[in-house]
Amino acid sequence: MKKKMLAGLGLVMISGLTWAADPAPRDRLNLSATASVDVARDVLSITFSTTKEGSDAAVVQTGLKQALDAALLEARKIAKPGQVEVQTGNFSLYPRYAAKGGINGWQGTAELVVEGRDAAAIAQLSARIGSMSIGRVAYSLSKEQREQAESEAVVQAIARFKARAADYIKQFGYGGYAIGEVNVSSSEPGMMPMAAPPMRFKTMAAAADEALPVEAGKASVSVTVNGTVVMTAR
């Protein structure tokens, strides 16, 4: 009985040693390849803003609302689904405090954001809004433009990954390879801010021919392929 138990124990130990000695695949390469596609930014975003202040909170708030309503009236005239989107931004009212404590007035800010692919219409709108000033201007990529550029970059990145793998296995003296685990990631370009003109209020007559000059420029959409390849004899 004792001999049988020792024999069984010996089998377990041998099995454990065999499992621990099983080597991991060694003929592997970790590779990375990146491709970038330049594409024109096609979404213009302009943030209009105004600031009011005074001793009466209700009066300040009314002034902000009137300025926002006037700007919205003009912006809605060019609103088009998928081309020009209009939305209100920050609307805040807060007290001002005296050096010795206590409230000595009120100040507030209102914003209107207009963005879309019809850059000409949005730029022209900036000349017709007189109740608010231009606070921020930026260009970005539409979802369609980004996805198209990303698809092109993916094709290029994968082709470069395969070409790099084929080149390396030859240099190491192998005849072929198999692709192991692969990760594909993309970098999405952010909005490109543009310098806004000096903030000022404009009358409708004076602003009639003062459309905001804009230039979109290009964004770079990058895709990176990371992964491993197992080198084989053929």
Say how many residues make up the chain: 234
What is the strand order of the sheet 84-97 is part of?
84-97, 103-116, 43-54, 133-140, 192-194
Q: To 10 degrees, the CA torsion angle through 149, 152, 153, 159?
A: 180
Establish if 52 belongs to a structural domain: yes
CA distance linking residue 84 with residue 103, whole number of Å: 41
Establish if 99 belongs to a structural domain: yes
Same domain, 93 and 173: no
Q: Which residue has the higher pLDDT, 27 or 12?
A: 27
Whichever domain contains 167, its CATH number is 3.30.110
The DSSP call for residue 207 is T
Same domain, 100 and 62: yes
Same domain, 234 and 120: no
Q: Where in the sequence is the domain holding 99, given as residue range(s)? A: 43-140
Residue 54 has pLDDT above 50, yes or no: yes
32-45 pLDDT, tens digit each: 999 999 999 999 99
CA distance linking residue 89 with residue 94, whole number of Å: 16
Mean pLDDT of 83-97: 95
Residue 114 has pLDDT above 60, yes or no: yes
Predicted local distance difference test score (pLDDT) of residue 3: 47
Residue 132 has pLDDT above 50, yes or no: yes
Q: Find out whether 229 and 176 touch, Cβ atoms under 8 Å.
A: no
Is residue 31 classed as helix, strand or coil in its secondary structure?
strand
Please list, in sequence order, all residues whose beta carbon lies within 8 angstroms of the beta carbon of residue 151, skipping any fewer than 6 positions away.
Answer: none
Give the pLDDT band (50/70/90) at residue 212.
confident
Measure the N-to-C terminal CA separation of the chain; round to a whole number of Å: 53
- String of DSSP letters for 135-176: EEEEEE--HHHHHHHHHHHHHHHHHHHHHHHHHHHHHTT-SE
Establish if 196 belongs to a structural domain: no
Establish if 19 belongs to a structural domain: no
Average pLDDT, the chain: 83
Mean pLDDT of 120-134: 93
**Final residue in a domain of this structure, among 100, 117, 140:** 140
Is residue 130 classed as helix, strand or coil in its secondary structure?
coil
Predicted local distance difference test score (pLDDT) of residue 215: 81
Same domain, 32 and 59: no
Establish if 69 belongs to a structural domain: yes
Same domain, 58 and 97: yes
Residue 95 has pLDDT above 80, yes or no: yes
Same domain, 37 and 147: yes
Establish if 15 belongs to a structural domain: no
Number of domains in the chain: 2
Predicted local distance difference test score (pLDDT) of residue 194: 53
Q: Side chain identity at 214, as an amino acid letter?
A: V
Give the pLDDT band (50/70/90) at residue 191.
low
Phi, psi of 121 (to 5 degrees): -65, -40
Give the pLDDT band (50/70/90) at residue 7.
very low
Predicted local distance difference test score (pLDDT) of residue 233: 81
Establish if 205 belongs to a structural domain: no
Least confident of 83-92, 123-132, 183-192: 183-192
Same domain, 70 and 151: no
**Final residue in a domain of this structure, among 101, 123, 140:** 140
Q: What is the pTM of this model?
A: 0.70
Same domain, 125 and 146: no
Residue 56 has pLDDT above 60, yes or no: yes
Whichever domain contains 72, its CATH number is 3.30.70.360
